[in-house]
Amino acid sequence: MASELTIPTPRRSMLRRLADPRLIVALITALALIGLSGCRTTPIRDVNNQPVPPGVSASQVSKTIQSAGNSLGWAMKQTRPGMIEGTLFIRDHVAKVEIPYSSSSYSIRYAGSTNLKYDAAKRTIHSNYNGWVQNLDNQIRARLASL
């Protein structure tokens, strides 16, 4: 007894609806918009004049900034007294910051980037950059507070 495969009518009509060109165009448009939403840029937010707890030396501030950055994957380098350069490599993206510091305060300023959609005229960058800098600042502040 040979059995025939028949697709019930409701499934056939559903297959026809899935092949509707309008639905296909709508799905492609939605996927494109979702993909583009992950690539948004935002104004750069520098960290300016964060206070250092009283009694902490400039040397302690330097060591604290470097260890905080290293713990988050930043390559930290003292370029001169009172200045540290931080570089973060994430896949094919690179973020660079300069961190001037003293015994009373520190700042974190944008110094360069690769593949982060930086726009010098608008001073905007990929939105992840500000999160990375915020994480660095949070780590520095937490470590300074424990000195």
Q: For each of the domains in the chain, give its residue range(s) and CATH number, in order of start.
A: 42-145 (3.30.310.80)
Handedness of CA 23, 25, 28, 30 (dihedral sign): negative
Residue among 121, 125, 131, 97 at smallest CA distance from 111: 97
C-alpha 51/C-alpha 144 separation (Å) is 10
Q: Is residue 23 helix, strand or coil?
A: helix
User: Pairing relation of β-strands 47-51 and 105-114?
Assistant: antiparallel
* Reported pTM: 0.74
Residue 90 forms beta bridges with which residues? 93
Tens of pLDDT, residues 98-134: 999 999 999 999 999 999 999 999 999 999 999 999 9
Structure tokens at 109: 């300023």
